[in-house]
Structure 1
């Protein structure tokens, strides 16, 4: 009996690397020869210390940073092989939200969310109106339709950014430190919204964060990034293994029972 074909990962980074030139003429290898597969529907975290390369790695997915070598695939298309026009079209399938929201300050909430739909074209005014309202309802701020960013809290601004990213109905949502400017209560509320989006829409979420509780609350899988490389990756709910990195062990401890934490301490002592 022939085994059913295995589904290809939605996101594949194949041996990608990225180097930046510093002002003094030296070079900095932000990402070093890294490969990564992320399955469709996953919620995947990238964690690491400041400067580890996790945000650069995220930006390689939609080619906001183009790799110096290697290939990037999303939904079966090799983005690194596309021309400018084709790449613009492919990026409609990849939403992105940022730490500082990146909203149009002089535009209403409605116009911020409608912006990518108007840029891409093809939708009528009625279709845009319906889609904007649907997205704002999904993120819980339908009552802010006519507000402007200056009238919103940080959490509300981030919800507008999420609604805007979802408006073109992407398969992928890239999140670069989306909660780092928010307080703990607002962060948990926003994470609940992202969980709901993943569950209802099946959108694959990739999130960069330095906050370990964000990973344990939201993610199914995580990769620890160190010095431009993926040092390890594992399922967040797997508390039976001893990760090889300090960050990995700290993550496991956050989810582990007291008994498992004691076992981890003994294993760590044995390998010290």
Structure 2
């Protein structure tokens, strides 16, 4: 994808982040080590790395689900690491998050799952909530599932409900933690097309953590390769003729330079299977 002219100043700034954990042995493990990076407004930014590289911890530092031991996190000009609990709760309304395992409320309908963050903050009327839920379900193509329960949905439908729920408060950024790793190839394409549409049509900034290089090739413009808790390299996917420093970077560059014969964007959109009823 080419970078839109509307991309402006960084929406997210991470400066000198450190995060470590105490192991049962008493030793300390550095999950994130001196990470600094910027994500521009409107971008689609990938974070890739092997299992245990620290990429998911890094993503959770962006909205302070994990608080750094040292360093600074800034989103939309606000230093989140300097905010109190109430201010941080308000700031998080502009940061949506999508998880690998969907994290839906199993005893709630699709409508109620998407409405949940709107009711939680209590600033909208019932009519306003209903209108916003319908709008978000239309974005992900699931208005016909509003009265269904998660157990009645396919994996791809569950993830699209999770995307609709994350969109409900109208965030400026979506943080996606391995959102396609539990899905098959066809369903992955459907979810990625939904995220790409949200990014390009709605202008929502996307930061996605994944170990799947094809996900980055399809969706992202910028990528950071994380190794042992640090950013080993960062580059634009459109940039050519540069020798990448990491094995993952070189593998991704080969995929960009020599994409599959049948590109994801042109692949036939396979219909999702009928919902599985528990």
Give the TM-score taking structure 2 as reference length: 0.89
Q: CA deviation at 1:239?
A: 2.9
Confirm or deny: 8 A CA contact 1:109 1:147 kept in the other structure: yes
CA distance in 2, matches of 1:187, 1:69: 36
Confirm or deny: 8 A CA contact 1:16 1:32 kept in the other structure: yes
Paired residues for 1:88-167 under 5 Å: 88-167=89-168
CA distance in 1, matches of 2:258, 2:209: 26
- Check if 1:189 corresponds to 2:180: no
For the residue of structure 1 that corresponds to 2:179, the secondary structure is coil
Paired residues for 1:1-272 under 5 Å: 7-257=8-258
Aligned match of 1:268: none
Confirm or deny: 8 A CA contact 1:232 1:244 kept in the other structure: yes
User: Which whole-Å deviations, capped at 9, do the CAs of 1:81-129 have from their partners, x for residues lacking one?
Assistant: 0000000000000000000000000000000000000001110000000
Q: CA deviation at 1:201?
A: 1.0
User: Which whole-Å deviations, capped at 9, do the CAs of 1:180-210 have from their partners, x for residues lacking one?
Assistant: 0000000011100100001111100000000
The count of aligned residue pairs is: 253
For the residue of structure 2 that corresponds to 1:127, the secondary structure is helix
Q: 5+ unaligned residues in a row in structure 2: which ranges?
A: 1-6, 260-278
For the residue of structure 2 that corresponds to 1:10, the secondary structure is strand
Structure showing greater Rg: 1
Confirm or deny: 8 A CA contact 1:44 1:206 kept in the other structure: yes
Aligned match of 1:264: none
Q: CA deviation at 1:242?
A: 1.2
Instruction: State the 4+ residue runs in structure 1 displaced beyond 6 angstroms.
Output: none
Confirm or deny: 8 A CA contact 1:16 1:68 kept in the other structure: yes
When residues 257 and 178 of structure 1 are mapped into structure 2, their CA distance, relative to the original with a 3 A threshold, is closer
CA distance in 2, matches of 1:195, 1:123: 28
Q: CA RMSD in A?
A: 1.1
Q: CA deviation at 1:7?
A: 5.0
Q: CA deviation at 1:26?
A: 1.1
Q: 5+ unaligned residues in a row in structure 1: which ranges?
A: 1-5, 259-272
CA distance in 1, matches of 2:141, 2:250: 35
Confirm or deny: 8 A CA contact 1:94 1:173 kept in the other structure: yes
My pick for the range that moved more, 170-179 or 17-26, is 17-26
Give the TM-score taking structure 1 as reference length: 0.91
CA distance in 2, matches of 1:28, 1:87: 27
My pick for the range that moved more, 141-150 or 234-243, is 234-243
